[in-house]
Amino acid sequence: MKIIQTLDTLGRGGAEIQVLDICRNAASNGLDMIFVCFGDGPLKDEFRKLDIPFIHIQRRLPVDLNLINKLRNIIKSNKVDIVHSYQPVEGIHAYLATLGSNVKRVLSFQGFIQDEKNRLAAKFLIPRVHANIVASNGLKQWLKNSARLDVETNFHLIYNGADPKRILTENPSLRKELNIDDDEMLIGMIGNFYSDPRKDQMTICKSLPRVLSEIPKVRCVFVGRVEKGAERKFNECIEFCSSKGISDKVHFLGPRNDIPEVLASLDLFVFSSLHEGLPLAVSEAMLAGIPTILSDIPPLLEMSENGRYAAIFQTQNESDLANKVIELLKNKERRILLSNEAKKFALQNFSICAHLEKLKLLYSQILSS
């Protein structure tokens, strides 16, 4: 089977990294893949390096007829069987490019739907694609209750999966970069600052004064870009740390392309969030063998089997988070046990092989229907 994977932009986000891992591992899992993007971004060079066709068609309009015609020609000339999109904007163009053909359409829901325009596009597409994929049961309930979408028919659960080969390294270079002593402990979060209610870095910041009063030799890093409109959230975190006199203990590193080295440097991974699909950053931490602490929102409870494979804190409760961080930092045996068990669980459920196995099965099912 021949599949086109489409992305509108190539920013360093969860959906983009997910598609990168899919394309990198497609051939070894029996999938003939073509990658088509409608925009640019930091991951462009990494996609170009893959051993699959890379095609860029610049989208210049919200609905770009020129792009649709070019995509239709690519589909025909390559005898494509399936076009798989990850956002409503890609899905609309894929729908129009395949209209009147036998080509199957797949739409994945990765997380937060940004605005009413995208919600309406998703509502239009759901009954017009051959399969909708949702990254978690928690996200499925959010799409139903908050986004008011029909998720009762033609929805399939496939967990996101990260590539363990991409993540594993024994080079904790971030510790050297930040001049962290051997007897200091490092905690961190990987996640962008968004204007929408998604990530919650501030709760981690608020927990740190208590953590540092109990365990002074601790540093904290935040990795991720500041999205347009999220500057205020970012600045509030900076100002809070400054007001508490802990700025020398907290590092805001911005976007990084060395996530494996960042993870290898951590003693503890903390993921504070308000809304998720199934975050790749958590999968990566678990696969890298880093003990994790997660907010108690439904998708993260799902990922951890209600706290069996990660410590859980009450969302936006900095006191509860501080207690969990202190407890784990003081208990090395517990950290090792938690990380070992979580890694085994993640390899079975949140690895790229697990993801591709289910994705290939779904592709086969819709082609034979």
What pLDDT, on a 0 to 100 scale, did the predictor assign at position 83? Answer: 99
User: Taking the alpha carbons of 133, 138, 143, 144 in that order, is the dihedral positive or negative?
Assistant: positive
Strand partners, 34: 4
Find out whether 93 and 64 touch, Cβ atoms under 8 Å. yes
CB neighbours of residue 33 within 10 Å: 22
What does the angle CA 124 – CA 63 – CA 59 come to, to the nearest 5 degrees? 130
- Hey, is 290 helix, strand or coil? coil
Q: What are the tokens at 122?
A: 């998703």
- Hey, is 182 helix, strand or coil? coil
Q: What are the tokens at 87?
A: 């956002």
Find out whether 165 and 131 touch, Cβ atoms under 8 Å. no
Confidence of residue 13 (pLDDT cuts 50, 70, 90): confident
Model confidence at 108: pLDDT above 90: yes
Q: For the chain, what is the mean pLDDT? A: 96
What pLDDT, on a 0 to 100 scale, did the predictor assign at position 179? Answer: 95
What pLDDT, on a 0 to 100 scale, did the predictor assign at position 112? Answer: 80
How far is it, in rounded angstroms, from Cα 248 to Cα 180? 11
Could you tell me the pTM of the whole model? 0.90
Residues 199-209 have a mean pLDDT of 98
Domains, the chain: 2-161+351-368 (3.40.50.2000), 165-349 (3.40.50.2000)
What pLDDT, on a 0 to 100 scale, did the predictor assign at position 157? Answer: 97
Residues 76-91 have a mean pLDDT of 98
pLDDT digits (tens, 9 = 90+) for 139-153: 999 999 989 999 988
- Hey, is 108 helix, strand or coil? strand
Lowest mean pLDDT among 51-65, 102-116, 122-136, 318-332: 102-116
What pLDDT, on a 0 to 100 scale, did the predictor assign at position 125? Answer: 98
Find out whether 324 and 268 touch, Cβ atoms under 8 Å. no
Model confidence at 114: pLDDT above 80: no
Residues 317-344 have a mean pLDDT of 98
What pLDDT, on a 0 to 100 scale, did the predictor assign at position 369? Answer: 84
H/E element, 220: strand 218-223
CA atoms within 13 A on the CB side of 303: 36
Nearest to 299 by CA among 143, 113, 118: 143
